[in-house]
Amino acid sequence: MNKYRVIQWATGVAGTASLKGVIRHPKLELVGVKVYSDEKAGKDAGDLVEGEKTGVLATQDVDAIISMDADCVLYCPMPWDVDEMCRILRSGKHIVTPCPYWFPFTQDKEAAEKIQSACTDGQVNLHASGCNPGGIAERFPLTFSGWCNRIDRITMSEYGDCRHYASEGVVRELMNLGKTPEEADNNPIKDMLVSFWNEPIDMIAEGLGSEVIEYEARHNYILANQDIETAAGIIEKDTIALNNYMHIGRTREGTEIVQEQVWLMDDIEQNRLQEKMDIPRTSGWRIKIEGDVSFHVDIQFPSDLSQEEHTSIGMSTTGFHCVNAIEAVCQADNPGIKTYLDLPMITGCMGTHSMRENA
C-alpha cells in the first residue's frame, strides 16, 4: 500500500497533536517537519511529541520544506500566511489546515480566489478542518439537519473554561480575554473573527440549499472581580474574563443560524466574575435545532477528567480531525478549496483493511 507523504508545518498546540496523529496513522508517512524555534530545530519529530524516534528531523528552512517530495502539508501556524499557503499549493502539495478558509467564498472572496488559483496551478486541494470551526460549527449541524423537514433555527454554542489554555496569542488576541472592553472593541482581530464565524453560517446555509441575506454580531463582556491566574498569564481585575460572541445569519427562507461562543476564565460558578451569565453546562458544545423536529445534542468529554485534560483533548480533536481528512483531500477531483460539502465522510483510521477492495 502506498502511503501519503505528509509534512507537518508548525508544532504548536494543535500542530503537536496533528504531528502525533500523522506518526500513528497507518496510511500516512511523515517526511518533514517545519518549526519556528531554535529550540525545536534539529530535533527528531518523535521527540517533539514525546514518542519514539522517527528519523525525521525538524527544520526552520522554508525552502527545504517546500522542495520536499510530499503529497500533503498539515499547515498549523498562528498566525497563518495566505501567500505562504499559496506557495505550498503551487509546489504541488495539498494542504489540510485548522486555519481559516472553511468556506471563504462569501466572507473573503479575495483570499478564496488566490487559493483557488494556486490550487489550479499546483493541481491540488486545500481543506480547512479541525474542531470549532471545522467540525462542530458546521459539519455536525448539517449532519443532524437530515432528521428535519422544516428548520427554524440552528444554534451551535461552545462553552469553554480557558484557564488551562496555554496559547497566550489565542487567549488574549483572538478571544480578547485579559483585555479591557475598550481594547477589545478596538482590536482589529475582532472584525476578522466576524467573518470567520460567518463562514460556518454560510456553509450551513449552502448545505441547506439556501443563502444568508442578513448577518448580525453581538459581543458581550464580563470583567474579573479579582486577578485570575491562568496558563496564559494573569487575567487582571477589571479586564475581560468572560467573552460571549454571538454571530447570526438569517437565510432567504427565514432559517436563523447562530454561532455562539462563551469563553471564560473561571468555572461554571463564576465567582471570580463581576456578574454571572446563565451557562447551561460546563465546557463543551451544544447543537440545538428547532423546527418541526426540535432537539439538542451535547458533546462533552468525560466528567472525571481535569479541566486541563479537557483542554488538551479539545486541541487534540482539532489536530486529529485534520490528519484524518488527508486521504480524502488527496483523492478529491477538480483542484480547489474543498469543504465538507465536497468530501466524503471523514472517519478515524485504525488499519488498512477494506472489505470492498477485498471482495
Cβ atoms of 134 and 98 within 8 Å: the answer is: yes
Specify whether 18 is located in the same domain as 54: yes
Question: Nearest-CA neighbor of 126 among 171, 164, 72, 84?
Answer: 72
pLDDT band at 134; cut points 50, 70, 90: confident
Instruction: Report, as an integer, the average pLDDT of 34-62.
Output: 97
324 sits in which H/E element:
helix 307-331
pLDDT band at 359; cut points 50, 70, 90: low
What percent of the chain stands above pLDDT 70?
98
Cβ atoms of 318 and 96 within 8 Å: the answer is: no
In a domain, 305, yes or no: no
pLDDT score for 307: 64
Specify whether 170 is located in the same domain as 231: yes
Total domains in the fold of the chain: 2
Compare 78 and 111 and report the one with higher pLDDT.
Answer: 111
pLDDT band at 132; cut points 50, 70, 90: confident
In a domain, 309, yes or no: no
Q: What is the pLDDT of residues 217-258, one digit of tens each?
A: 999 999 999 999 999 999 999 999 999 999 999 999 999 999
In a domain, 306, yes or no: no
CATH number for position 331: 3.40.50.720
pLDDT score for 355: 77
Alpha helices in 25-90 (DSSP H): 45-48, 62-66, 82-90
In a domain, 182, yes or no: yes
The rounded distance, in Å, linking the Cα atoms of 330 and 28 is 11
In a domain, 310, yes or no: no
Least confident of 13-27, 108-122, 189-203: 189-203
Instruction: Report, as an integer, the average pLDDT of 184-204.
Output: 91
pLDDT score for 168: 86
CATH number for position 232: 3.30.360
CB atoms within 10 A of CB 327: 21
pLDDT score for 281: 78
pLDDT score for 242: 98
Residues in the chain: 359
CB atoms within 10 A of CB 275: 9
What does pLDDT average to over the chain? Answer: 93
Q: Domain span at residue 53?
A: 4-128+315-358
Specify whether 195 is located in the same domain as 249: yes
Specify whether 86 is located in the same domain as 197: no
pTM: 0.91
**Can you tell me which residue has the cell 471482495?**
359
Is the Cα dihedral 146, 246, 252, 204 positive or negative? Answer: negative
Question: Does position 333 have pLDDT exceeding 80, yes or no?
Answer: yes
Query: What radius of gyration, in Å, describes the C-alpha atoms of the chain?
Result: 21
Report the side by side order of strands in the sheet with 125-128. Answer: 58-59, 28-34, 4-9, 72-75, 94-97, 125-128, 336-337
pLDDT score for 358: 65
pLDDT band at 166; cut points 50, 70, 90: confident
pLDDT score for 191: 81
Least confident of 21-25, 94-98, 193-197, 204-208: 193-197
Q: How many CA atoms lie within 13 A of 190 on its CB side?
A: 21
| Largest separation between any pair of C-alpha atoms in the chain | 66
Q: What is the pLDDT of residues 287-325, one digit of tens each?
A: 999 999 999 999 988 877 776 776 777 778 899 999 999
